[in-house]
Amino acid sequence: MRNVVNADAEAEPALATLDLPFLAQQTFDDAELAREVLILFADQARRVVPTLPGLAPEAQREAAHLLKGSARGIGAWAAAAIAEAYETAAPEARSTINGDLVATFAATQAAIARELA
SS (H, E, C) 7-60: CCCCCCHHHCCEEHHHHHHHCCCCHHHHHHHHHHHHHHHHHHHHHHHHCCHHHH
19: β partners: 4
CA 47 to chain centre: 13
Fold of the domain built from segment(s) 13-116: Four Helix Bundle (Hemerythrin (Met), subunit A) (1.20.120)
- Torsional class of 44: left (φ above 0), alpha (ψ -120 to 50), beta (otherwise): alpha
Percent of the chain with pLDDT over 70: 88
Give per-residue pLDDT as tens, 10-41.
444 558 899 999 999 999 999 999 999 999 99
pTM: 0.87
